[in-house]
Amino acid sequence: MDTVTLEPSLYTVKAVLILDNDGERLYAKYYDGTYPSVKEQKAFEKNIFSKTHRTDSEIALLEGLTVVYKSNIDLFFYVIGSSNENELMLMAVLNCLFDSLSQMLRKNVERRALLENMEGLFLAVDEIVDGGVILESDPQQVVHRVALRGEDVPYSEQTVTQVRKTALITSFISTYYTAQCGICSIALLTFHSPET
């Protein structure tokens, strides 16, 4: 009997999805090239919704992927991993996301409240999963870090993605102000020119 040995990998999450009652995308983040185009992603989301929206189970195997999901009022939350992935790890990500949003939205986890707080959702997902790697499964820590994002956070407490974003924004602002100062200097030289 042949046994297949799989290499352990930190890349456990392939996608995080939130769909509404009609199966329409409210949030989707794909971490690999399984569904490279938006058309393929939408088709997958339609398929996943049609197979899960009327069932009470929490786990499904679809298109060779493990899907864990949860519904609440008018939202469906999905965390997707490979068919070999540990369902408990995927469920930990799902529960962390749901519990974090529940705390952030004061237990009002429904479509309208979520749409009004999309920035918090983006930040929460980035704190939980980065590039498919699970970073955090404690909702208290996620909520705390999302709250800190509004303040200046030391680099030692930021993820690599956060540091890159901060550096990019700082570089952009620096370039913008340098260009603005250059324009102001030219305007001042022109205005104070002895020839006029």
The contacts found for 81-87 with CB under 8 angstroms, 24 or more apart, are: 81/12, 81/13, 81/14, 82/12, 82/14, 84/6, 85/12, 86/12, 87/59
pLDDT, tens digit, for every residue of 132-159?
999 999 999 999 888 887 555 555 656 6
Average pLDDT in the chain? 82
Q: Has this prediction a pTM greater than 0.85? A: no
The predicted pLDDT at position 73 comes to 85
Binning pLDDT at 50, 70 and 90, where does residue 105 land? confident
